[in-house]
Structures are given as C-alpha cells and as structure tokens.
Amino acid sequence: MLVLGVHSGWADAGATVFDDYTLLAAVPLARLTGMPHDGGRLPVEAIAECLDIAGLRADEIGALSLSHGVFPGRYYSHLSLPRRLGRGLRQFFGRDTPISLSDETRRHAEGNSRPGESLLDLPALLDDLGLNRNIAVHFHRDHDAQALLALNETGWDNGLIFTADEQGCSARVLKYGRLATLYDDETDPAMAGALSPGRLLGLGVDALGLPDAATLFALAGHGEPVLGQALLAHLKVDEAGRVQADFSAEGGPQRWLRRLVEDQPPALVASSLQFALTALFGQAITTLMRRHELRHLALGGSLFADPRLVHMVAQAAQPDSLGLYPRVSNAALPLGGVLDLLLQRDGFDIWRQRHKPLAGMAWGRDYAADIDPVLGNAGCRLVSHDPVRAAAALLNAGKLVACYDGRAIGADGAAARVVVFNGGIAGAAALANQRLERPGWLPPVVYVARVGLGLLCPGLDVAQAQGGIAALPAPRWRDALGSGLLPDGLLVPVAVDPQDQPLLADLLAAYANLTELPVLLGLPLQAGFAPPADAPAEALQLLQDGRIDYIVTASAVWERGA
C-alpha cells in the first residue's frame, strides 16, 4: 500500500511517501522554500515533490497519515457560528490564519476517541490534495512518531523509549513483546499548559536571541553551568519518572530567564540550561529503567538532537545499548507518522518483523546526472577527472571541498551534501564556519569510515554514530583532531557507510592513505542558517560566492571559473 505522510506543524512542515515499509521519498518544506524551519501551513509543495520523486500520482495513494498540526480554518467542521463568520471575513481579506488541530482536540476531545476525524472536513481536505475520498486517514501524535522513529533503528525486545520536545516528554516500555505507554505529556489533559523542559529551553532561546535550540546547545559547550543548580531548584522528577517545573515564586520562567540574560554571558546561560536538562532526563530515565528492569534505551524528539546532551544522558543512565534516529528537526515527523499508521494497521508483532531502519536511506531527489552539467554550463573549471585522489590532495592542502553525492541521505542530507576540510590544521573549523557565515563556535562533525570507528572512539557502535552522539576519542587522535574537538574534549562522529555514501567513503579512504588521518571534518553544505543545499544550482551558488573552494562529484572536481 502506498502511504502519504504529512506534518503541518508551526515549524518544519514536510511530507513523505512509503510503499508499505519502504521509504520512497521525503521532503521538508524548508528544502523547497529556502526558509529555515518553514511551516505553519499544509506543505503542498513538499507533497507534490515527494510524489514526483516517487513517480506517483496523488490518486494512487492508498492511505494518509496526518499530524495534529495546523490546517486552514475552512477545513474545520465544528466551529461555532461566530467563529465561522470571523473566519469568513479573514479569508475574504486574505488573512485566513491556520488553526491548530492539537489545540482544537484538547478543547473537544472529551469522550471522543477519534477527535481529528470529527473536527476536520476530511472529504474537502482529500479533494484539495487530489487524493481519493475513500482512502484510510490516520492521525498521529508527535510523541508517537518520535518514539517509533527511535525504536525503528533497533532490534530489541526490552527497552525504554523516551522522547522529549517542546510539548513535553513521553515514556514507553518495550517488554514481553508489548509496547506500552507509561505517560505522554502531549495527550495528558493534566499537563495542558504546563511548563515542559522543551518550553523552558525555547524561552531560553528567545531570551538569548538565538535562531534555534541547536544553536543554544552548541553555545553551551563554551560556558560553565554555574546557574545549573539554581535552575534545578525549580525542576523535579517525580516517582513516576515525570519531569515537572514550577517558577511561580519567580514570577514565571520567562521573567526569571530574562533577568539571567541581562546579568550573565550567553554561553553561561546556555550551559546552565543544558546542565539542567541533562540532570532531569538522566534522573527520569534512570528511575524508569530501574523500576521496569529495562536494559536498553531509545531516545527521540527534537531535544535529543544535541550530541553532547545525548552523550551526557547516556553516561548517567548507562544502558546496555542506545538507540537513536539521526539528529533531525521535526521535519522527520511525517516518517514517524507513517510508521505509526503501519503499527496500527498491522499490530506490533508484524511491525517489528517488517520494519526497516531509515538512518541510511536516501529520501531526496537524485541529482547524480545533473550536477556536472550544471557546473560545466555555468563556466566552472574542471580540475580533475580523478575526483577522489584530487580532492584528497586538495583537502591535505587546506582547501574547503563540498562533497556532492547524487542523492541526499537522511533528513537534512548532511552525510551526502557536506563541506569537508582537514581537521589537522589549527583553526580550520572556525575558518570554515566564518566562510559559511556560521558562528565560529558551532562544532563540526567528524566523518570516519565504519571500519575505523572503533579505533577513533572505542566502545561506540555504528548505530550510535549514525544517530548522533558525542564521544571521547582515543588518546592517540586528540592532538590531530584539535579543530574537531568540542571544548570539553568530545567530538561528534558519524560512521560513513560505503553503500549509502560511496563518494564520501572513497574520499575518506583516499585521504587516510595520503595523510594517515582516518577522519575528515565536515559542516552542512549551507550558508548561515538557510536549509542545506540540495539542488545543483544551490551548490553552484555557494561555489560562485566563494564560500567553498571546490566541489567534488562522482565524476570530477570543479572550481569556480574566471
């Protein structure tokens, strides 16, 4: 069965298409519009792009999975007459703001087991999307999607699945062949309006004037958490392993954080927030794993997109093994939503037998046949037809080289569309960030061949390195990786699979043969905080702007023309 998954959240909207358990395509809306974290509407462009990549028509889709995101007011069938009149006036003047299905569900879900279906005019929505009216429609919760994305990368029969995002936390137990929910802040009426760790982090992002939580986490590595204990005085983990917060005596968390930001360096505030989250999550997870006698841990949700936070939580919980979906934003929620639809359709036993890890799967358009003609026709100079050896020599000379595989891998395409550079040169990471208009303290990723991961970071397995976890390198490599180390000596390794990323894997091997260094440092192929470059024209623009020195493809090495 062909399944379309759609997430229409306020940020990071997107779509995906599956053929049962096989991923065919997935596209974040930001990839097409160029607006970071684009959302707040139905991602019709992303839907069309997914169908085009998969070679499908909308009327061939057999099922639709929708998040509890935002939808235009015209699709809500339950609105009172005054609200309908108000919506009609807004639509007439071109100001028809969307309505959050999640908010409406909380208002009207009492006694209703399927609120999404009762609140929306599904026939009208399906008609507008070009889908058949008789297809199955499934609504998924964010934490359900996040949990299944993390669990999907494992093969356990015993473990805790813990998720955390801006809306709260959830905990699920896998034991005795069953997957049971312990708690989920997203669906608990008692938690409506409560301050979650994610919302506290969001307030910190706003108070510091940062673009997103990922930037705050990166900044945290450059400060000391001297205010961490002061934060923890307002936060606690109860006996059920649930995280709760109370800032009522301080006039609310927003006022308290603003006072901190006025008096303290930003890195110190960021580090203190990360410290508090680490302590909370470590205590909650340890409590739950001990109480339910669980051995393994899977982490999901946007708050676990930070490699250092994952590392510190894993150090506190000490699971036998750790499961992760690659660090991504909510753009991956459509994939988790489809996994949830398949779980509800087939049952857990069949789902566990048929599910396929998504970490190394391509989900963008294949540009392998387009990149070289685009560069050549734009007047770029062909440097070499021996791309791997030539690019390795350029990297050894300190050049900034974009590695452009044909089809992006993962949510942001970082493994296949990445700027790599020589980590043995002092200050190389800061210089690369400067040229790409990124803050100099944003950490690079350390790319290493799968066979060399154990030598670089003893005890770290490939799944963890694919998922995104910071780790300590072996002592022999620390001096050679000065530009790739975080202030606390950790690095963020990514194990490169030659089947998934052949060009990057070959480049790693050639560079190691030339220099005896088994790693390359990398940053996303993007300028500033714009979405990573995908289409050849976007990579070409970075080359023409002088942000990178060369582009290596499967066929050639190119530099900017005269």
pLDDT at 170: 92
The secondary element (H helix, E strand) that includes residue 322 is strand 321-324
Judge whether residue 84 has pLDDT over 80. no
Contact in structure between 284 and 243 (CB atoms under 8 Å): yes
DSSP, res 531: P
What value does the mean pLDDT take over residues 451-464? 83
Per-residue tokens: 497: 């699979």
What value does the mean pLDDT take over residues 309-337? 87
Per-residue tokens: 111: 């006694």
Judge whether residue 381 has pLDDT over 80. yes
Contact in structure between 42 and 377 (CB atoms under 8 Å): no
Domains, the chain? 2-142 (3.30.420), 155-324 (3.30.420.40), 363-559 (3.90.870.20)
Over residues 199-254, the pLDDT tens digits come to 888 888 888 888 878 888 888 888 999 888 988 888 888 888 888 888 887 788 88
Residue 51 banded pLDDT, cuts 50, 70, 90: very high
List the one residue out of 428, 372, 418 whose CA is nearest residue 397.
428
Over residues 286-319, the pLDDT tens digits come to 999 999 999 999 999 888 888 888 888 998 899 9
Calculate the average pLDDT of the chain: 87
Angle (CA) 432-402-53 rounded to 5° is 130
Per-residue tokens: 257: 């954080």
Residue environment code for 306-327, b if the CB has 16+ CB neighbours within 10 A, otherwise e: bbbbbbbbbeebebebbbbbbb
Give the count of beta carbons closer than 10 Å to the beta carbon of residue 519. 30
Q: DSSP for 446-500?
A: EEEEGGGHHHHSTT--HHHHHH---BPPPHHHHGGGGGG--TTS-B-EEEEPTTT
What value does the mean pLDDT take over residues 71-87? 74
pLDDT at 308: 85
**pTM metric for this prediction:** 0.88
Over residues 116-142, the pLDDT tens digits come to 667 888 999 999 999 999 999 999 999
Per-residue tokens: 441: 């303290």
Contact in structure between 392 and 505 (CB atoms under 8 Å): no
Q: How many residues does the chain have?
A: 562
Judge whether residue 429 has pLDDT over 90. no
Per-residue tokens: 237: 């983990």
pLDDT at 111: 45
Which amino acid appears at position 556 of this protein? A
